[in-house]
Amino acid sequence: MTFLNLFLHSNIRNKTAIGVQALQKQGAKSIGVDISVDAQGAAEGAILGQFSFDKLKQKKNDDADNNKVVAPYATESSTDLKRAWEIGQIYGTSQNVARMLMTTPANLMTPKLFAEEVAYLLAGLENVDIKVHDEEWATRQKMNAFLSVARGSTEPLRFLEIHYKGAKDNSEKPFGLVGKGITFDSGGISLKPSNNMHLMKGDMGGAAAVVGALYGICKLHLPVNIVAAIPLCENMPSGKATKPGDVVKAMNGKSIEILNTDAEGRLILADALHYVSSTYQPKHVIDLATLTGAMDVALGEVYAGVFSNSDDLWAKLQNAGEAVADPFWRMPLHEDYIKEMKNSLVADLGNIGTRSGGSCSAAGFLQEFVDKNVPWAHIDIAGVMACNGTKGYHIKGMTGRPTRALIEMMRTAQA
């Protein structure tokens, strides 16, 4: 896709959202959307532009009135255009599912409640099997890195395992998805500053995007098999919390010195990545995580950063991101980034490296826990987790990105 086309399709999403928002403020009950140029993009913009989270407010937002109708029109409304509109609606709704999960306050979206919400969202959809594992199961699996993060909270951990079998051959190898599910991140003993700590209810953005993508994939009945793993817990300080200097042994047998308890996301992902890649040997595995502030510094709100050991997997992600105006930028993987981590005096790895290249060293850490024969990509979504101001279909607050890009990638996976 050329830059001109990418700009055009992104602009259609944005202008459609702005138009729908403006007309709804004027009290319009029925809105027609021109779908002659890009029906799917217009539908995505219309759905995304209407997102609001006011269910906890005494006075609800009138713009969210269910009686309002937003429908397509075109001079030649063909079957293909109508189908593209329907697909765009599913894409937009799927991202709004992720937004809803991320926006819900942490006291109403604990690991247990997250698992229950996902079971409700996916209930009744075809070819889906949901397994909710508890602490006893994680202990049997020797997921000690995951368990070490959950120790400080009174909220019980959960490990969601979701199987979608849409391929004609159920024995066909699945694609793997792993989402970081820290439902609130205080930093643990390495306590974060209080400023903006409330945003850490969105530290399960990777998990939310995986769930949103699965919702869309199920709705579209895509002919693929997928296994998703979502480790869920809080990272809290307490008398039982993991301390800086503690050493734990991850599921793959590597010992980790916890130098900073606020570098917790990589710990829960380490066990989840090893579990998925070694148990199911997927065609590829992608993990998503609000992992490092360094990624926000590097790329801001525009691109999500991608680290991958596979040029082919990167190309598929890049193309999918461009197709739905949810772009990625490739970042470097190099062994030098984790040299410092391997210099621990008491363990195989420390959980942090030097300050420089923080996103790169975090990605290098994760690579140590992925089966070497499995193509893998790590998407750091810390920069795109939240939007600071409403700009068309980019609504202020939690974004739910890159849900649509994941769906698009799976939709074109067999092409």
The answer to whether residue 401 is catalytic is no
Beta strand pairing status for 349-350 and 255-257?
parallel
Sheet of 255-257: strands edge to edge? 247-249, 255-257, 349-350
Beta strand pairing status for 304-308 and 328-330?
parallel
- DSSP conformational letter for 243: -
The answer to whether residue 266 is catalytic is yes
The catalytic position among 82, 112, 173, 192 is 192
The catalytic position among 165, 180, 219, 266 is 266
Backbone angles phi, psi at 162, to 5 degrees: -120, 125
From the CB of residue 220, how many other CB atoms can be counted at a distance below 10 Å? 17
Alpha helix positions (H), 26-128? 39-49, 79-103, 111-122
Contact 126, 221 (CB under 8 A): yes
Please tell me the distance from the alpha carbon of residue 397 to that of residue 199, in angstroms, as a whole number.
Answer: 9
Please tell me the distance from the alpha carbon of residue 15 to that of residue 97, in angstroms, as a whole number.
Answer: 22
Residues 6+ apart with CB under 8 A from 310: 284, 375, 376, 377
CA atoms within 13 A on the CB side of 114: 42
- Catalytic site positions: 192, 266
